[in-house]
Structure formats: C-alpha cells, structure tokens
Amino acid sequence: MARRGTSRGVTSRHRSLWWQSGVLYEVYPRSFGDASGDGVGDLAGITERLDYLEWLGVNAIWIAPFYPSPMADFGYDVADHTNVDPLFGSLDDFDVLLAEAHRRAIRVVVDYVPNHTSDRHPWFTDSRSSRDSPKRDWYVWRDAAPGSGPPNNWISMFGGSAWEWDEATSQYYLHSFLKQQPDINWREPAARQAMLGVLRFWLERGVDGFRIDVAQFVAKDPQLRDNPPNPHPERLAHLGEWRHQLHLYDHGHPDMHDIYREIRRLVDGYPGKRVTIGELHHPEFDVWARSYGQDLDEIHLPFNFHLLRADWNAASVRAVVDGISAALPAGAWANWVLGNHDQPRIASRVGQGQARVAMMLLLTLRGAPTLYYGDEIGMENATIPVDRLRDPWGITEPAQSRDPERTPMQWNGSANAGFCPPGVEPWLPLASDWQTRNVAAQRDDPSSLLGLTRRLLELRRTIPALIEGTYAPVDSAEGVFAYTRRLPDEPTLLVALNFTDEPRPLTLATDGRVVFSTDPHREQGLVRSPLRLAPSEGLLLELVDTA
Ligand code: GLC
C-alpha cells in the first residue's frame, strides 16, 4: 500500500488544503443530540457527540442555522445573525463546541443566510415601520402594479406570490421563500455592509468557514421583469409550483458574482485558509462552474448537487461525473453531495444495498465529499403522520415535505434512540427502523455501512491518490461504473462500482490487489482479470504492474 500518514490529517507529501482533502459532515442541529432534554437538539448535544465524529474520521462539520429565529423555516428565518437561539444554547455553548471540535482537529463551518432575514429581525421591523425608515431599502419594497396586485409575477419557492402586501405602508415586499422571510436588498450599500459584518463576527469567533444559503438569490433583475412560463415544467417535478416559470429574473443575476468576490476577499483576509461553500442549484454544469469565479476568486466550493438528480445507474452517474470534471475550471476543486436537510435520504432513494455503493462513490471521487448526518448508518426517509408535519413547505405542498430526512439521529436502541431522554417527545418522530438501524448496532461491525464509511474515511487519510489522484473513467460492462485515481509514483487505484443487483464482469488490463470491498465476502489479496463483481459491490483495487 502507498505511504501512510498520521492517524488523522494529512500525509507528509500531501499538499491539499483541509477543505479539499477533508470530508464535511452536515449536522442538522435540531436532530443530532439533545443535551437539554426538551426534544430538540442543541449545541451542547453536538459537543457530546464530537467523540463519535472523531472516531468516524470526518474533518469538518457544517451546522445548519442555530441563530435566534421564530423557526418559521426552522432557523433559515434568522432574527439575529450574531447570537444563538436559546433553544440551541448560548454563544458560550458555541465557543465550547468550537474549542472541543478544534481540539479533535474537526473544523466548524456555519450557515450564512444572506438572501433573507426573519420578518421579526429588527432590521425588517425598522424597514417596515415607515416608508421613510433609514432601513426601508434594506429590503425590496415596491408599489402595487398599476390597477392593483403584486409588482410582478414572481412566485415564492414555497408556493404563492413572492410579494406580500404591507397594509401600514401600502407597499409590497419581496420574499423568495416564506412571507416570514423578506429578501434583503444587497444593492443597498448599508445592508450589504451589515451582512458582511455578520461574516466578520463569526470569523473573529474562530469559525472555519461558511455554507452560503441559496447563494444565487442574492442578486435579482434590477428591473424586476416578469419571469416567462416554463415550457417544460415536468423536468423540474421535484420543485412544486415553482417549476411553472423559467426563473430568468428572480435570481441568478450576474451581479451576484461581485457579491461572491466581496465575500471571498473578506474570508480570505482571515488566516487559516477558511472556506466558502455555496448552495447553488444550476442545472447546467457550465453555469454552475462560473461560481468558482473566472480567476477562482469567488466561491471555494459551489455545492455540486448534480448527483442528486442523476438516475441511479452507472451510465447516468458516469455522465454527471464526466460532465462535472469537464466543466470544472482549471485549478478548481470539485465537490460531491448525496444528501442534505432538503433532499430525500440516499438510502431511501437507492436502497440499502446501493447505499453502500453510493457511499463508496462519494468517498472515492476526486473532490470534497459532504456527508449528511445519518447517511453513514443508512437512515431512511421517515413516514411523518400528518398531525406531526413541521416543514412549512410540506404543509403547503405535501410532496415537498423535508421532514422525512430531518428526523432524530439514531444513536442506539434505547428509548428515543438515544437522541433525547426517555419520556420526552422528539420534535419529529423517529424513523420506524431506529431499534435496529443505529450507531450502536453498527459500530463494532466492520461490514456495516458505518464500518464501511469509517474504513473509507481512513483510506482517504492514508492513500494520497484517493485525494489528489487524477480521475479517469474506464469503460466497463453495462451497469458498472469504474474509474482510476492516479498519482505519480503511487500505485494506480481502480474503483469499480456495480450499480445492479446482479453479478457483473470486470476486465482489468493488469492484476490488482484488493484494498477494500463493500462486499464482506470478497477475499483479500491479488486478483486476476477477468473478475466478477458481486451484486451491488464496490471494489477498490491497487493495480499491480506485472509487465
Ligand atoms: C436553503 C435551505 C433550506 C431553506 C431555504 C430558505 O435552501 O437549505 O432548508 O428552507 O434555503 O432559506
């Protein structure tokens, strides 16, 4: 095997930055650990679980919003950007979490919500108090259209018009999401400075970076033109009412790039190689890639969500990986996502067998992976009874509910899965399989999905080609996606993933040595071509030059 590094961190010849080589783990704070015992997770609950994350071997956590909020959109409606909601604890709890994470060499990335605030944010209260408020233009206010009605046809992502009438000042304000989430006007210099100040606050507190919420919404058409209808709404079936328009004007204006550059300059001005990660949903690879910036001076890692939409078969997944690799600007670092708090769970989407293949894909592609909490044990979408629905989007459009993927982390087989004390009702019900599918049940079983994930994370730390090696697809039998990862002076790696539930042949140009397989029955040692991949097997080989 290639040179080994230290148990965590980097090998001696490793040149990548932490956010390139590392694995980011998303913690949805309401559902990770409940230290206070009120049924809702909190910051101290995350701190209590840092030993687990260290054992697992992730390098960074991204914590979804924990700021004071009326929770209309579960924290994405921020009422104070520089504090902690009492539900989650206090700034002191945050400092403890940060210090404890850093002590374990785990970086901490926080959520930054630039597009909107809560309607209870003092900025908005001030803005809506009068047309003469000095903060009036911090938000987007407009008169009614001639006659009456909203200024244009824009619709909210969560359904209905994106404009809300304010009786007191007789104008509409824009909200791309809930009406409790008015959009900030980034074209207003003071509002812009205030939002940049939020970044400084957290950077000075020591965070390692930001995940930038709905980053492409920060700039809209200054003329607020109507969106045209979408001739192909069926292609966006996952988006509810929003799919009926072509969203040419309500987001994605090129001026967003200036904002990204400004954010980037600010973040890069702090020591420690901090990172910006943008939530960007551009279906075209080349448009998505522009957010790295022409001179790689915008977002370090624009989230790459394209695997979430790919049909789960070898050809479609390969097409995405090849397409992204081709679209990536020179010098830019790729990243891969298979789950987050807005997306159905991967194990429900592809099944438990393929969830193992998916994890292997995520952790062996060239680029930074993001792992959603619970995906390492194969958590599935929970069934939420109607009277326990919490997600506002799910309440207006049931098919869009994100509650199923936000249920409490399944730690063990005791009451409430160890998430909150017995007798307390967790804020969302547990998934029905919690007694058997949990961390405790899988922890000591190397053949479990948790064991597999941990082993792959370990291999990423010890085999430099898994981080820095080039990616090249290898033509293979139907249903198999194979690729090499190659680094000079290191053994070439071959990853072969069987996307079917049948055995598949694999032909190799040379012999190989088994480094890892998702199939516990795979014998270790040398393998000769042709070999047979077991159903849903993911195999990692070191190619052995026999010439
Ligand atoms: C992002 C968040 C999502 C939230 C929305 C509005 O998409 O990930 O959870 O509802 O922004 O802030």
Q: How many CB atoms lie within 10 A of CB 43?
A: 29
Does residue 236 surpass a pLDDT of 60? yes
Beta carbons of 522 and 534 less than 8 angstroms apart: yes
Query: pLDDT band at 10, cuts 50/70/90?
Result: very low
Residue nearest to atom 4 of ligand 1 (CA): 76
List Cβ neighbours of 346 (8 Å cut-off, separation of 6 or more).
338, 339, 355, 358, 372, 375
What strands lie across the sheet with 171-174, from one edge to the other?
Answer: 141-142, 171-174, 163-166
Beta carbons of 491 and 544 less than 8 angstroms apart: yes
Longest dimension (CA), the chain: 82
Q: How many CB atoms lie within 10 A of CB 473?
A: 14
Query: pLDDT band at 4, cuts 50/70/90?
Result: very low
Between 184-188, 232-236, 255-259, the lowest mean confidence (pLDDT) is in: 232-236
- As a whole-number percent, the residues of the chain with pLDDT over 70 amount to 97
Does residue 446 surpass a pLDDT of 60? yes
**What pLDDT shows up at residue 235?**
80
**What pLDDT shows up at residue 278?**
98
Peptide bond into 530 cis (omega under 30): yes
Rounded to the nearest whole angstrom, what is the distance from the C-alpha of residue 154 to the centroid of ligand 1? 18
Rounded to the nearest whole angstrom, what is the distance from the C-alpha of residue 450 to the centroid of ligand 1? 28
List Cβ neighbours of 257 (8 Å cut-off, separation of 6 or more).
290, 291, 293, 298
Does residue 15 surpass a pLDDT of 90? no
Angle at which helix 256-268 crosses helix 189-205, to 10 degrees, equals: 30
List Cβ neighbours of 438 (8 Å cut-off, separation of 6 or more).
377, 410, 411, 412, 413, 417, 418
Does residue 11 surpass a pLDDT of 90? no
To the query of whether residue 213 is one of the catalytic residues in this protein, the response is yes
Q: Which two tokens stand for residue 234?
A: 């069926």
Beta carbons of 50 and 25 less than 8 angstroms apart: no
Sign of CA pseudo-dihedral 410, 414, 415, 418: negative
Does residue 426 surpass a pLDDT of 60? yes
What percentage of the chain's residues is helix, strand, coil (to nearest 5)? Answer: 35, 15, 50
E-state strands within 86-181? 107-112, 141-142, 163-166, 171-174
What's the rounded Cα separation, in Å, for the pair 509 and 448?
Answer: 31
Residue 417 exposure: Cα atoms within 13 Å on the Cβ side:
29
**What pLDDT shows up at residue 122?**
98
Q: What's the pLDDT tens digit per position in 403-419?
A: 999 999 999 999 999 99
Q: Which two tokens stand for residue 384?
A: 């939420």
Among 77, 81, 177, name the best residue to mutate to test ligand 1's pocket (greatest count of ligand atoms within 8 A of Cβ): 177
Residue nearest to atom 2 of ligand 1 (CA): 213
DSSP string, 343-406: S--HHHHH-HHHHHHHHHHHHHSSSEEEEETTGGGT--PPP--GGG---HHHHHSGGG--GGGS
Average pLDDT over residues 371-399: 95
- Choosing from 34, 42, 208, 213, the catalytic residue is 213
Q: CA-CA distances (angstroms) from residue 102 to 7, 60, 107?
A: 16, 9, 6
Does residue 5 surpass a pLDDT of 60? no
**What pLDDT shows up at residue 240?**
84
**What pLDDT shows up at residue 12?**
38
Beta carbons of 366 and 470 less than 8 angstroms apart: yes
What's the rounded Cα separation, in Å, for the pair 485 and 468?
Answer: 8
**What pLDDT shows up at residue 398?**
87
**What pLDDT shows up at residue 177?**
97
**What pLDDT shows up at residue 396?**
86
Q: What's the pLDDT tens digit per position in 101-143?
A: 999 999 999 999 999 999 999 999 999 999 999 999 999 999 9
Rounded to the nearest whole angstrom, what is the distance from the C-alpha of residue 473 to the centroid of ligand 1? 34
Query: pLDDT band at 547, cuts 50/70/90?
Result: low
Beta carbons of 381 and 374 less than 8 angstroms apart: no
List Cβ neighbours of 188 (8 Å cut-off, separation of 6 or more).
137, 138
Residues in the chain: 547
Does residue 196 surpass a pLDDT of 50? yes
Average pLDDT over residues 454-472: 98
**What pLDDT shows up at residue 1?**
30
What strands lie across the sheet with 301-302, from one edge to the other?
Answer: 301-302, 275-278, 209-212, 107-112, 60-63, 24-27, 368-372, 335-337
Q: CA-CA distances (angstroms) from residue 362 to 317, 335, 456?
A: 11, 9, 10
Rounded to the nearest whole angstrom, what is the distance from the C-alpha of residue 261 to the centroid of ligand 1? 22
Residue nearest to atom 3 of ligand 1 (CA): 342
Beta carbons of 428 and 406 less than 8 angstroms apart: yes
**What pLDDT shows up at residue 85?**
98
Q: Could you tell me which of 351, 374, 359, 375 has the C-alpha nearest to residue 495?
A: 359
Cβ of residue 73 lying under 6 Å from some atom of ligand 1 = yes
Does residue 8 surpass a pLDDT of 70? no
What's the rounded Cα separation, in Å, for the pair 366 and 466?
Answer: 7
- Summary mean pLDDT of the chain: 95
To the query of whether residue 34 is one of the catalytic residues in this protein, the response is no
Does residue 14 surpass a pLDDT of 90? no
- Choosing from 42, 73, 279, 342, the catalytic residue is 279
Average pLDDT over residues 150-177: 97
Cβ of residue 177 lying under 6 Å from some atom of ligand 1 = yes
What's the rounded Cα separation, in Å, for the pair 451 and 516?
Answer: 12
CA angle 230, 233, 237 (to 5 degrees): 150
Q: What's the pLDDT tens digit per position in 54-87?
A: 999 999 999 999 999 999 999 999 999 999 999 9
Q: State whether residue 451 is helix, strand or coil.
A: helix
- Write down all domains in the chain, each with its CATH number in brackets: 18-114+189-214+250-459 (3.20.20.80), 115-185+220-249 (3.90.400.10), 469-543 (2.60.40.1180)
User: Residue type at 513?
Assistant: R
- What is the distance in angstroms between the CA of the first residue and the CA of the last residue of the chain? 19
Sign of CA pseudo-dihedral 378, 76, 281, 190: negative
